[in-house]
Amino acid sequence: MPSTSRLARVSAMAGAVVWAFTLFYRTGDSAETDLIQKVFLLAVLVVVPLGISLVETNEEWMTLRIATVLQPLAALLCLISFALPQGITASSLASTWLVTVSFIALAGLLRIVFSKQKLSLELAVSAGMMYLPVGGAWFVASRLGFQPLGFGDTIVLLTAVHFHFAGFAAPLLVGLAARQLPGSRLPAIAALAIVFGTPLVAAGITLSPKLALAGTLLVAFGLVLLGCVVVFRVVPKLRVRVAQVLLVIASLSSLVAMVLAVLYAYSIVTRTVILDIPQMAMSHGLLNSFGFSLCGLLAWAIEMSSASPTSEAK
């Protein structure tokens, strides 16, 4: 029986093909909405299964395997939900994704509970897994047409995107880097900034632009620190040149993306127009999703696949 990691890798490759076909038709009612939907579909079809394939190397969690089996179907139902008008039917299809990522979150919780090293940087990986249902819930709200706290449809969908990339992919990438630097405190500092800054941004959007700016600065600090650690300390340790190049691209992308995020958060606080949402989607969104998350995860997938086979899954 193939391992969970292998199943997830196959799903990610198949998802990449499906996602490429989505580029040939428009699902959103505007160019801005269509772009955000395509970025979200990248997460459910490619980024999440690719991330799952990197979580464990030597053991299996039943909840994670269930999620891996459910993920391809749930991702396709997400795609179909975008082709339908907002409402009960679209949100019902979207809810299958919420169920799937809830199993991933449960696996993250179990990793924490049964971890032999309670303060291990694997906590960052587990935290990222546990953020996914938050994004899943906002996705269901988006397809239902529900606008909590009066947020518009765009903000609701962007929040779902936020918790799939900043919430899931970024902590996972911290944990993967930390595996190369046992005992180093720098990845731990980056992990704390990212894990605590991510919900702070979301809370700030609800409560206060200043709080959102503080959260953005915290996440930016964590990602810039992670980028420096990766470029100067992790990349030289890797065996595969392609993986090295992809990690450098990911680090540079996160740097530029977070500069843009800070500028946008600052513009909201000062009520000055520096970047609007469409510009952020085209710049920050693409840099964060493709440049940082996808390139980073691909790098680790390539590097790990080149390593000697590990022991069989339990």
Q: Write out pLDDT tens, residues 231-283.
A: 999 999 999 999 999 999 999 999 999 999 999 999 989 988 888 878 888 88
Six token digits for residue 293: 């998350």
Residue 306 confidence (pLDDT): 81
Residue-wise pLDDT for 122-178, tens only, equals: 888 999 999 999 999 999 999 999 988 777 888 899 889 989 998 999 999 999 999
**Residue 87: which region, alpha, beta or left (left: phi > 0; alpha: psi -120 to 50)?**
left
pLDDT category at 207 given cuts 50, 70, 90 is confident
R_g of the chain, CA atoms, integer Å:
18
What string of DSSP letters covers 120-162? -THHHHHHHHHHHHHHHHHHHHHHHT--GGG--HHHHHHHHHH
Contact 232, 292 (CB under 8 A): no
Identify the band that residue 57 occupies on the pLDDT scale cut at 50, 70 and 90: low
Contact 201, 170 (CB under 8 A): no
Q: What percent of the chain has pLDDT over 70?
A: 95
Quick one: pLDDT band at residue 199, thresholds 50, 70, 90?
Answer: confident
Residue 195 to residue 166: CA distance in whole angstroms: 9
Predicted confidence (pLDDT) per residue in 58-74, tens digit:
667 889 999 999 999 99
In the block, residue with structure tokens 């929040």? 159
Q: Which of 126, 138, 110 lies closest to 44, judged by CA? A: 138
pTM confidence score: 0.91
CA–CA distance, 76 with 57 (Å, rounded to integer): 27
3-state secondary structure of 311: coil
Integer Cα distance of 311 and 136 in angstroms: 33
Rounded Cα distance, 291 and 313, in Å: 31
The per-residue pLDDT of the chain, averaged, comes to 89
The answer for residues whose C-beta is within 8 angstroms of residue 19's C-beta and 6 or more apart is 38, 41, 42, 45, 46
- pLDDT of the residue at 310: 45
From its phi and psi, is residue 204 left (phi > 0), alpha (psi between -120 and 50) or beta?
Answer: alpha
pLDDT band for position 92 (50/70/90)? very high
pLDDT given at position 154: 87
Stretch 93-121: mean pLDDT, rounded? 87
| 238: helix, strand or coil | coil
Q: Say which residue, 85 or 1, is predicted with more confidence.
A: 85
Q: pLDDT, tens digit, for every residue of 72-89?
A: 999 999 999 999 999 999
Alpha-carbon span 59 to 225, nearest angstrom:
30
* Cβ neighbours, 10 Å, residue 213: 22
| pLDDT above 80: residue 120 | no
Compute CA 119 distance to the chain's CA centroid, rounded to the nearest angstrom: 22
Task: Name the amino acid, one letter, at 186.
Answer: L
* pLDDT of residue 288 exceeding 50: yes
**Does position 291 have pLDDT exceeding 50, yes or no?**
yes
Side-chain half-sphere CA neighbours of 290 within 13 A: 13
Query: Mind giving me the DSSP string for 165-222?
Result: IIIIIHHHHHHHHHTTSTT-SHHHHHHHHHHHHHHHHHHHHHH-HHHHHHHHHHHHHH
Which of these ranges, 31-35, 50-54, 111-115, has the smallest mean pLDDT? 111-115
